[in-house]
């Protein structure tokens, strides 16, 4: 579990990926690696998610693969069996969170309120997804949460872009950022993996400039 969070802390950026066809999984994973970002959160928004996770976990060495938009415990099981190393949910579903904790699966539930932060703390979770980040108050909200909840770290996702990435990463309470601008659906489905590598490399450079 610790090595998963260590990897995310090291990269500071988690690409949130929607894959419509599992045949695109391997080239997508290789494009991320080539761009210097060895992590991917594959969202369960399409029927191709499970097979995409399986392919990436088996065939792209060095890539940390997680499952996102996980809404049921069945999806947790399917994702982990396919090779996912961590689970991300858009909101704080106690059933999913407790299920993952019981099975010692790294889980990053979504929060956007003090009450939800406390639900995480009650379960010993100190790394939480802040979603939807921009719509929930963005940087000002994170600064407000950082006051009473010392030690809690956030992965803001939703509205994060190349333009505001550095500003978010400069906050001491931000563990990493989640974003999809470098892995947009249309880039993947049209096979523009060179462009994904270019955008990823640019994002990695921005991350380094913030550190």
Catalytic residues: 41, 129
The CA distance from 105 to 87, in Å, is 7
Here the tokens at position 194 are 């060179």
SS (H, E, C) the chain: CHHHHHHHHHHCEEEEECCCCHHHHHHHHHHHHHCCCCEEEEECCCCCHHHHHHHHHHHCCCCEEEEECCCCHHHHHHHHHHCCCEEECCCCCHHHHHHHHHCCCCEECEECCHHHHHHHHHCCCCEEEECCCHHHCHHHHHHHHHCCCCCCEEEEECCCCCCCHHHHHCCCCECCEEECHHHCHHHHHCCCHHHHHHHHHHHHHHHHHHC
Q: Report d(CA 49, CA 61) in Å as an integer.
A: 19
């Amino acid at each position: 579990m610790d090595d998963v969070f260590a990897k995310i802390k090291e990269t500071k950026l988690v690409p949130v990926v929607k894959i419509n066809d599992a045949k695109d999984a391997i080239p997508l994973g290789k494009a991320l690696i080539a761009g210097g970002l060895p992590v991917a959160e594959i969202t369960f928004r399409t029927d191709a998610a499970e097979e995409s996770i399986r392919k990436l976990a088996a065939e792209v060495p060095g890539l940390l693969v997680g499952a996102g938009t996980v809404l049921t415990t069945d999806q947790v099981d399917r994702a982990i069996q396919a090779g996912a190393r961590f689970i991300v949910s858009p909101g704080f579903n106690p059933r999913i969170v407790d299920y993952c904790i019981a099975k010692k699966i790294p889980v990053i539930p979504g929060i956007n309120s003090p009450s939800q932060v406390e639900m995480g703390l009650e379960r010993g979770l100190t790394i939480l997804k802040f979603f939807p980040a921009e719509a929930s108050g963005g940087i000002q909200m994170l600064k407000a949460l950082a006051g009473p909840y010392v030690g809690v770290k956030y992965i803001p996702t939703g509205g994060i872009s190349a333009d505001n990435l550095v500003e978010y990463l400069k906050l001491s309470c931000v563990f990493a950022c989640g974003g999809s601008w470098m892995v947009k659906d249309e880039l993947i489905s049209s096979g523009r993996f060179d462009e994904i590598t270019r955008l990823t490399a640019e994002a990695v450079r921005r991350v380094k400039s913030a550190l």
